Structure 1
Amino acid sequence: MKPYVSGLEEDPELPPQLQKIAHKGFFGTLRHYEALLDKKLGVEAHGPARILPEDRDPAYGKWSKQIVMALMWASGTMNLSCFTTGFLGYELGLSLPQTIWITIVASFVGSAVTGWCATFGAPTGLRQVSITRYAMGWWPAKIIAFLNVIEQVGWSSVGSITGGLALSAVSDGHINLVLGVVIVAVVGLVFSFIGLRAVLAYEKYAWAVFFIIFMVMYGEVAPHAALSAPATATGLNNKGSALTLFAVVYGSSASWCSIVSDFYVQYPVNTSKMKVFLLTTCGIAIPTCIGMILGCCVGSTMSVNSVWAETYENDGVGELIQTILYPRGFAKFLLVILVMSGIGMNCIAIYCGALSIQQFAQPLSLIPRFIWTCLVFVAIIILGIAGRNHLLTVLQNFLSLLGYWNTSLFVILFVEHYWFRDGIHGFQNYDLEAWNTASLMPVGVAGFVAFAAGIAGAVVGMDETWWIGPLARKIGQNGGDIGNELSLVFTLVAFVPVRYLELKYIGR
């Protein structure tokens, strides 16, 4: 990637009123060291500014670079977190066949949402939050930037916890879970600190190792899967559990839609949108299914294999894998490698979290990305340590919450693009030079109203351990999650008329 080095020239990340102080005093010192780090270590000094077509690396036009659009997501999603999420089907009382089909369908639906959002990166050269400004408006887009930071910290915490559990197990407890969480987070920080080049370099090849390990695990686990075991949830309870599992798995795959374009800004403007969509969708959905379905198979054995169930309940997923696989020395080797799977997700999340902070407010772009990367890392450590003993609960609640607001964001982007900007014919109705100018962006009345309506729909339809919406309560004894469906409908119904009024009376 062609680095951007801060000097006396103008910074495209900054508005005119901040240009003068960018190179003086404290901020000037920070940016000087950022440029120095880029020169010595290749640390990416480019912030959220638009990448112009003439500034992009020509190598990204080659197929060997474009296949990374699938491989990077494979490395980031085929991990122990996905494996653990697969246990939720058993926890919710579903049969193994039900769980597998729901996992496949929900993964592809959520991945398609992310895949569509990915098609904005190459034509615009903009990060996802900057793209959001054209649909939601200048001020509401800040909400997305804020939620992005929370989302990426949450993802990295989950990756650090699962990696920490594996490290603790492989060391027979000599590395406690707290230290394991810290080690995994630190390695992810190193890659994200350097920037997009390091993230993509790692993600391009890591998936192959994880794929081989998961295939080995399938070979040893599949004979034990309880395919004939009936669902313990029946009738309306079964339907409610199915809806809740769908929401969790869908949220896992759709959650990347708020950051996906961050990784596509170097690709040529004329990169095929269909290629981007298919590579991204399949790159997320297929590896997610591989990890989750393996977890589904293991989860199904909990009711018939008391040894595995007791090991999982008392010692966690790392010890369970060591119990399942044999010989034990081989299991330890696989666990050491699988620790790296959590690092792949952390690389993606930490990098995008820091970029989102810079897009929350223009003055924050004065502070180099590597500073924000370190602060995001600290938040990950704190959350990872705090939630280390409640992984499954964290996954169920966290992943569901991601789906709700990302669904609302997707609807707003989709409708604005095709309905109000004639996006079927390209991006000619987007003033890409105005990406960082508040006065040229939509004010955001429609975006805010629609997003709020979407959240309201999610609230009445969500099924979480801490809150079950009034409509969700009607679907079985434990509720059924229809938050995403209601979020989609509420957002659509609110956005279209209010956006018409916004254009009529405000003009943008």
Structure 2
Amino acid sequence: MHWYESAVWNPNVITFIVMLGIGCKHFVNAPPSAPVTASNDITFATTAASSVISWCTMTPDAGVYHSKNASSLRIFLYTYIGLFKASITVHFLGVIFAASAPNVPTWEAGFDNGNNIGGIINAILSPLSGFGKFLTALLALSIPSPCAPTMYIFGSSFMTIGSFFAKVPRYVYVIISEAILIPVAIVGATQFYATFVDVLSLIGYWSSAFAVIVLVEHFVFRKNDFSYKMEDWNQPRRLPVGLVAFLAFFCAFGIIIPSMSQVWYTGPIGIPVGCAVALVVYLVLRSIENSWTGR
């Protein structure tokens, strides 16, 4: 899977360059359809952040390929720049083509009001006839690339819960995750944009709280010390109890729910408030737990 992930982006880059070459003559500086408010800015920023923050639960798996003698700063910069470049590039491409679509009838028809990403890509590449369809197919075949790590970590996460789960072959978890993913994808495909924003925001809510808890544990309680005792991973008596992490996580969601802005509920800002609550609750309760248990 790691080899696949390291190679699958190449056809996408080629396709994006071709799309820019073909579509650049249609690009316009489209004015906003409505005045941009602070709420719009925060919503866009948190949604964009969610697409990157969600990788925080998966990136440690790639750490097995890092040399233990490698510079921490180097690993951080490689990871940060890699995520930053990929995220910013694709976001900008999406903004450019989506903003220009209303001025190109074929693009607008293919885009279907934001519900058909494949449709607008196919419309942009349509002047290339068969080669354009080939590039569209390549992009479609690259879709599993962001899903594969999720399925992989889905199994790994269950296997670390307890010895019983570790005895189950990893491919079983992959099949289970696929069984969950397919019906969700079928339903979401009919309303792609709304589903994408809602799911991505929901992922951002929980993964941002998770990230804060992990960062506080590492920098505050482990003093930024990377010398973790790997042999203790399946020795519960040598590890933190974990109850504090659960409490901090659910307390964060307790404030996120009245603060989020989604189709099913409207409130102010969820992710920043949830992160703040997770930080404070975990910092206080973990200090108490550490003083009682010494671990």
Gaps of 5+ in 2: none
1:446 corresponding residue in structure 2: 244
Give the Å deviation of 1:319: 2.7
| 2:283 maps to 1:504 | no
The answer to whether the Cα contact below 8 Å between 1:461 and 1:483 also exists between their aligned partners in 2 is yes
Find 1:353's aligned residue among 154, 159, 181.
154
For residue 367 of structure 1, give the secondary structure of its aligned residue in structure 2.
coil
1:264 corresponding residue in structure 2: 63
Give the Å deviation of 1:250: 0.6
Give the Å deviation of 1:306: 4.1
Q: 1:327 to 1:353 in 2, by over 3 A?
A: same
Question: Take 2:26 and 2:137, find their aligned partners in 1: how far apart are those partners?
Answer: 24
| 2:105 maps to 1:318 | no
Q: Residue type matched to 2:173 in 1?
A: W
2:9 corresponding residue in structure 1: 207
Residue-by-residue CA offset, 1:163-216 (whole Å, 9 max, x unaligned): xxxxxxxxxxxxxxxxxxxxxxxxxxxxxxxxxxxx122222222221111111
Question: Take 1:267 and 1:308, find their aligned partners in 2: how far apart are those partners?
Answer: 43
For residue 91 of structure 2, give the secondary structure of its aligned residue in structure 1.
helix
Residue-by-residue CA offset, 1:454-479 (whole Å, 9 max, x unaligned): 2223223211111112xx1xxxxxxx
1:401 corresponding residue in structure 2: 202
Higher relative contact order (CA 8 A, sep 6+): 1
The answer to whether the Cα contact below 8 Å between 2:159 and 2:165 also exists between their aligned partners in 1 is yes
Question: Take 2:246 and 2:5, find their aligned partners in 1: how far apart are those partners?
Answer: 35
TM-score (normalizing by structure 2): 0.91
For residue 360 of structure 1, give the secondary structure of its aligned residue in structure 2.
coil
| 2:184 maps to 1:386 | no
| 2:95 maps to 1:293 | no
Identity of aligned residues (%): 28
1:468 corresponding residue in structure 2: 266
Give the Å deviation of 1:431: 3.4
Q: Residue type matched to 2:112 in 1?
A: E
Gaps of 5+ in 1: 1-198, 473-481
Question: Take 1:205 and 1:244, find their aligned partners in 2: how far apart are those partners?
Answer: 33
Give the Å deviation of 1:486: 0.5
| 2:212 maps to 1:414 | no
The answer to whether the Cα contact below 8 Å between 1:255 and 1:403 also exists between their aligned partners in 2 is yes
Q: 1:358 to 1:336 in 2, by over 3 A?
A: same
The answer to whether the Cα contact below 8 Å between 1:434 and 1:441 also exists between their aligned partners in 2 is yes
Question: Take 2:230 and 2:110, find their aligned partners in 1: how far apart are those partners?
Answer: 55
| 2:233 maps to 1:435 | yes
Give the Å deviation of 1:284: 1.8
| 2:26 maps to 1:224 | yes
Q: 1:307 to 1:393 in 2, by over 3 A?
A: same
Give the Å deviation of 1:485: 0.8
Q: How does 1:117-266 map to 2 (within 5 A)?
A: 199-227=1-29, 229-234=30-35, 238-266=37-65
Q: Residue type matched to 1:294 in 2?
A: L
Give the Å deviation of 1:396: 0.2
For residue 230 of structure 1, give the secondary structure of its aligned residue in structure 2.
coil
> Where has structure 1 moved over 4 Å in runs of 4 or more?
none
Q: Residue type matched to 2:286 in 1?
A: R
What count of residue pairs does the alignment treat as equivalent?
A: 293
